[in-house]
Amino acid sequence: MTLYQFNTLDETEQHNAVWNHGVMVGDRVEGEHRVILYQLFSFYVELYYHVKMNVLLRLCSFSNTESLDVYLDQIDLKSLILY
């Protein structure tokens, strides 16, 4: 599935695609929202949850790797170094 194909799906189909094919790669807190990042095929999807209301507010899909910068501090480089 391409990003374009994903974006043409309705909201329920997009959520099903994330749950069935996505791999969680990070999360972050943004104000009252918890943002969970998934990799799905060759693109990424962020799910925005309202923490207090425990409800999914929106979904944002992208292929631009610059948008991943906010997740870089979560990568443990020690585990990637070979001794």
User: What domains are there in the chain, each with its CATH number?
Assistant: 3-80 (3.30.67)
Q: How far is CA 16 from the centre of its chain?
A: 14
pTM summary value = 0.84
How large is the average pLDDT for residues 11-33? 95
Q: How far is CA 40 from the centre of its chain?
A: 8
The predicted structure's pLDDT at residue 71: 87
Given a cut of 70, whether residue 83 has pLDDT beyond it is no
What would the two tokens of residue 75 be?
A: 């990568």
- Within 10 A of 80 (CB to CB), how many other CB atoms are there? 7
Structure confidence at residue 79 as a pLDDT band (50, 70, 90):
low
- What DSSP designation does 54 have? T
